[in-house]
């Protein structure tokens, strides 16, 4: 049964081209029911994944819908150069990178701390209750999360501004103030992701051999000492991998949340590469230009991820792929 694979990929010297082809056909026929099951998936990947990849060619063109990719004028790197010279180029890079940096500094450590503290709870029911509640935000949609924020931060009767006014302050227009965009993005990120991101650390902690804790207790170790010398080392490989993964994503940031949270008044801090691609491409129909921006972004992302993975492999002998 395993011969099928060998014939399709490896044995290039075995027999003539014709006999290899014949053999492959026999193998395909033998697995015809499975081939039939794989077919819809293959068609899906070709249509919805590979045809768009081919569409990337338009980044090197001056693409016009009526001419298609075959008939559009080739301009090679002009769209890319246009982006590099764009007045917003540095602003877009800065905004994208800064949100990611803030995520690494402020969002990333919180699930780790949460998992370590949760691990100290002995009561199983209590522990499970806290954990269940902590997943809740993961199941709420982005429009609802941002919607709740808008209501809470409203200058007209929103809870936060009520408190500010009760303390004698002036109401703050959080959503139209460029200086507030990043803090709001990061705070809502913490709210949404803490419980869910902690899962992987909680699982790593539950795999720690309990005898380690017991023998440390016999040696007279205090609880916080066990936490630092047993629990933290147990999850540190996971922490390093997750951290590197985050660093690999330094220049990638989805458009969805930013689009919901930004207003034209905050573009100075809130416009990122992905929202720029959306605006230019779908609002202004500059297909070639925005595809070029997106291709530039993917190429950098792949390079960063590759570097992060290489470092991960060197440091922990575990790689992301």
Partner 1 sequence: MVEDRSLSSRVLDVVVHTSMIFMLVVTLYPVLNVLASSLSSSAANDAGIVTIYPIGLTFDNYRMILEAGKVPKAFVNSVIYTVVGTTVNLLMTSSFAYALSRKHLALRKFYMTVAIIPMYFSGGLIPTFLLVKNLGLYNSMWALILPGAISITNFIIMRTFFQGLPAELEESAALDGANDFQILVKIILPLSKAVFFTIGLYYAVGHWNSWFSAMIYFKDSSKYPLQMILREMIIAANSMKDAASSDDFNTAADIVNLNVKGLKYATLFISMFPMLMVYPFIQKHFIKGVMMGSLKG
Applying the rule CB under 8 A, the residues between 191 and 230 that interact with partner 1 are 191, 194-196, 199-200, 203, 213-214, 217, 222-224, 227
CB 195 within 8 A of CB 203: no
| 4 makes contact with partner 1 (CB under 8 A) | yes
Q: Which is nearer to partner 1, 200 or 240 (CB)?
A: 200
Q: Identify residues 277-306 at the interface with partner 1 (CB under 8 A).
A: 277-278, 281-282, 287, 290-291, 294-295, 298, 302, 305
Q: Which of 71, 109, 157, 169 binds partner 1 (CB under 8 A)?
A: 157
CB of 144 to partner 1, least distance (A): 5
- Give pairs for 270-273: CB < 8 Å, separation 24+: 270/95, 270/178, 270/181, 270/185, 271/88, 271/91, 271/92, 271/95, 272/92, 272/95, 272/96, 272/99, 273/92, 273/93, 273/96, 273/297
Residue 112 has a CB neighbour count (10 Å cut-off) of: 21
| 168 makes contact with partner 1 (CB under 8 A) | no
**Phi first, then psi: what are they for 286, rounded to 5°?**
-90, 75
| 310 makes contact with partner 1 (CB under 8 A) | no
Candidates 14-22, 82-90, 93-101, 255-263 — which segment interacts with partner 1 by CB under 8 A?
255-263
CB of 88 to partner 1, least distance (A): 18
Q: Is 31 exposed, middle or buried (0-12, 13-18, 19+ CB in 10 A)?
A: middle
Q: Identify residues 110-139 at the interface with partner 1 (CB under 8 A).
A: 113-114, 117-118, 120-121, 126, 130, 132-137, 139
| 108 makes contact with partner 1 (CB under 8 A) | no
Q: Which of 107, 146, 250, 251 binds partner 1 (CB under 8 A)?
A: 146
**Phi first, then psi: what are they for 320, rounded to 5°?**
-75, -25
* Count, residues near partner 1 per rule CB under 8 A: 106
Q: Sketch the per residue contact string, 76 through 105, with partner 1: x for CB under 8 A, - otherwise.
A: ------------------------------
Candidates 76-84, 88-96, 98-106, 188-196 — which segment interacts with partner 1 by CB under 8 A?
188-196
Q: Which of 19, 176, 209, 310 binds partner 1 (CB under 8 A)?
A: 176
Going by C-alpha positions, the residue among 287, 260, 272 that lies closest to residue 149 is 260
CA distance between the termini of the chain: 28
CB of 53 to partner 1, least distance (A): 5
Q: Identify residues 28-57 at the interface with partner 1 (CB under 8 A).
A: 28, 30-31, 33-38, 40-42, 44-56
Q: Identify residues 5-24 at the interface with partner 1 (CB under 8 A).
A: 5, 8-9, 24
Element holding 305 (H helix, E strand): helix 287-316
Cα atoms found within 13 Å of the Cα of residue 258, Cβ hemisphere only: 26
CB 59 within 8 A of CB 79: yes
Q: Which is nearer to partner 1, 105 or 144 (CB)?
A: 144
**What distance in Å separates the CA atoms of residue 31 and residue 25, rounded to the nearest whole number?**
10
Q: Which is nearer to partner 1, 75 or 101 (CB)?
A: 75
What does the DSSP assignment read for 56-71?
A: GGGGGEE--TTTHHHH
CB of 9 to partner 1, least distance (A): 5
* CA distance readout (Å), 27 to 34, 39, 58: 11, 16, 39
């Amino acid at each position: 049964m395993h011969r099928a694979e060998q014939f399709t990929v490896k044995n290039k010297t075995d027999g003539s081209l014709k006999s290899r082809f014949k053999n492959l056909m026999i193998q395909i026929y033998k697995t015809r029911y499975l081939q039939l099951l794989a077919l819809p998936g293959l068609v899906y990947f070709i249509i919805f994944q590979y045809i768009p990849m081919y569409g990337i060619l338009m980044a090197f063109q001056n693409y016009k819908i009526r001419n298609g990719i075959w008939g559009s004028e080739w301009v090679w790197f002009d769209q890319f150069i246009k982006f590099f010279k764009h007045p917003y180029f540095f602003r877009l890079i800065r905004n994208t990178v800064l949100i990611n940096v803030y995520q690494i500094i402020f969002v990333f450590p919180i699930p780790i701390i949460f998992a370590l503290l949760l691990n100290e709870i002995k009561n199983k029911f209590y522990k499970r209750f806290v954990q269940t509640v902590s997943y809740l935000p993961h199941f709420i949609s982005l429009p609802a999360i941002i919607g709740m924020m808008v209501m809470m931060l409203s200058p007209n009767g929103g809870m936060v501004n009520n408190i500010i006014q009760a303390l004698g302050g002036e109401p703050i227009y959080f959503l139209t103030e460029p200086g507030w965009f990043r803090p709001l993005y990061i705070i809502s990120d913490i709210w949404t992701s803490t419980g869910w991101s902690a899962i992987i650390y909680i699982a790593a902690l539950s795999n720690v051999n309990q005898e380690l804790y017991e023998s440390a207790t016999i040696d007279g170790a205090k609880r916080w000492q066990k936490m630092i010398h047993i629990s933290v080392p147990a999850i540190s490989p996971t922490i390093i991998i997750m951290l590197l993964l985050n660093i690999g994503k330094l220049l990638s940031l989805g458009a969805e949340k930013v689009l919901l949270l930004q207003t034209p008044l905050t573009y100075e801090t809130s416009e990122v590469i992905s929202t720029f691609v959306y605006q230019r491409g779908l609002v202004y129909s500059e297909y070639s230009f925005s595809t070029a921006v997106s291709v530039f972004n993917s190429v950098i992302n792949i390079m960063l991820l590759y570097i992060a993975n290489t470092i991960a492999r060197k440091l922990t002998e575990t790689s992301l792929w």
